[in-house]
Amino acid sequence: MATASIAKRLKDPSLFRQQAFVNNEWVSAATSKTFEVNDPGNQEVIGCVPECNVNDVSKAISAADHAFQSWRNSPVETRYQVLNKWKSLMHEHAEDLAKIMTIENGKPLKEATGEVLYAASFLEWFSEEAKRIDGDIIPGGMPSHRHLVIKQPVGVVAIMTPWNFPTAMITRKVGAAIAAGCTTVVKPAAETPYSALALAELAKRAGVPPGVLNVVTSHENLRDVSSHLTTDPIVKKVSFTGSTRVGKQIMEQASSTLKRLSLELGGNAPLIVFEDADLDAAVKVAVACKFRNNGQTCVCANRLYVHDAIYDEFAQKFTQAVKHMRVGYGLGENIELGPLIHQGAMDKVSSFLRDAVDKGAKVQTGGAAYGSSGTAVDGTTNAAQFFQPTVLTEVTADMLVSSEEIFGPVAPLIRFKAEEEVLAWANGADVGLASYFFTRDLSRAWRVAEKLETGMIGVNTSVVGSASTPFGGIKQSGIGREGSKYGISEYLNIKYINMDIS
């Protein structure tokens, strides 16, 4: 019934796939085992996908290794055409891709559609970057010697992606890998496999050759599957987006064969509003930055520092904006916030909120799960995994919301009085992915941007991600960059050749 229900909502029902994708074929797990995927908005079962094990993953790795022998030598024009066709198909089927994402992830349809278009932009960008994989000729000290530097694809790449951006995290990695001449094995999050499988269907239609893109799904076998991907000597690189804790485990496992790594890990983003900021603009951007995907992103504003001189006014305007946010099932009309991904996320947000209130924080709006009072979102939706968008004032440093990533719709507002003070607080985290601040002072803009210890900074904006710019962090927020001209370099080896022509 769930499958039929999904199919009726799609213009192209064949995009809803319930098998793994290996060597351009749709396959079941060797054991025929499956696991269920639930809609976080209503807890209904969407469908089932294969419970792949190590043997299934080995077949995908072998397919990728075999395909690499030819794909590595494919003409640049071929890679360009395949990636561009894939991008065009994503645009053509954007509505269906967004619906699949909303049903398995929960984010509102408008936001899901935005992610689909954002994801497609990486395929377009890297199709062009494939043409710019160049090298160097370096002058040498000996007249008969010629020093050449060439770039070659690293090989088979294992790609592990999270549930919060189930489409964009794949294209941002796979687009770069395929453009570089690599082949891939993708392991999507167990919560959101259908977006990955729909992308695989479109990749096949776009002409991606057998074995260049493989998608395996797992849930109960996740630990063994991930370990195999990070230790198999055929795999030459691992690209992972997720928590810092898991990233460290992957780094340790990958060290056994010294694999190349790209790790985009946790964030605890500070957002600073200085006393000279455009207050209305800061409120608007801060709301969008905090509550994007219901606060479930690694670049969401997590700690909102507001100067004491404007704190009360900012808090009042910010709270009013949050009060009017429309919460409900993602396919509903004008929905801005959907459900949290699972009960574990609900429990974490609730515990952080209790900790803050117990220590003196004031709830200005929200402050509870919808289901806790027996009410339903919009009066119609099962409220089990919906949490009220919440604003906290009088937040202090001893509260969990001040020091740990919330990953939910709770905005803690923290007072500060001096630039040096807030910079020390902002830089006090052991992670450094993104940060944001608002000021109309040009000198301060340069000064603070240079002092903030994060890989990405938004000044008077929350936009830090695009296909043409480098995405990534410093400290314990990861290794490497995705997107931009730097992103494709992560999938290339540099080879030096000294040629004696005497």
Contacts of residue 482, Cβ cutoff 8 Å, sequence gap at least 6: 172, 173, 176, 239, 262, 264, 470, 471, 472, 490
Please give the positions annotated as active site.
264
Half-sphere exposure of 175 (CA within 13 A, CB side): 33
Look at residues 435, 418, 417 and name the one whose alpha carbon lies nearest to residue 426.
435
3-class DSSP assignment, residue 305:
strand
pTM for the whole structure: 0.95
What is the pLDDT at residue 387?
A: 95
* Residue 374: strand, helix, or coil: coil
Neighbours of 500 (CB within 10 A): 8
Q: What is the set of domains in the chain, with CATH numbers?
A: 2-9+21-265+478-496 (3.40.605.10), 269-466 (3.40.309.10)
Show the tokens assigned to 75: 């003409």
Dig out the tokens for 117 from the structure: 């278009």
Residue 397, pLDDT score: 94
Helix axes 109-129, 76-92, angle to 10 degrees: 170
Token pair for 390: 């919440």
- For the chain, how long is the longest CA-to-CA vector? 85
How far apart CA 334 and CA 318 sit, in angstroms, is: 20
Alpha-carbon separation of residue 303 from 128, 147, 226, 444 (angstroms):
38, 51, 32, 20
| pLDDT (tens place) for every residue of the chain, 502 residues total | 455 578 789 999 999 999 999 999 999 999 999 999 999 999 999 999 999 999 999 999 999 999 999 999 999 999 999 999 999 999 999 999 999 999 999 999 999 999 999 999 999 999 999 999 999 999 988 999 999 999 999 999 999 999 999 999 999 999 999 999 999 999 999 999 999 999 999 999 999 999 999 999 999 999 999 999 999 999 999 999 999 999 999 999 999 999 999 999 999 999 999 999 999 999 999 999 999 999 999 999 999 999 999 999 999 999 999 999 999 999 999 999 999 999 999 999 999 999 999 999 999 999 999 865 444 555 455 667 999 999 999 999 999 999 999 999 999 999 999 999 999 999 999 999 999 999 999 999 999 999 999 999 999 999 999 999 999 999 999 999 999 999 999 999 999 999 999 8
Q: Measured between alpha carbons, how far is residue 8 from residues 1, 108, 429 in Å?
A: 11, 19, 47
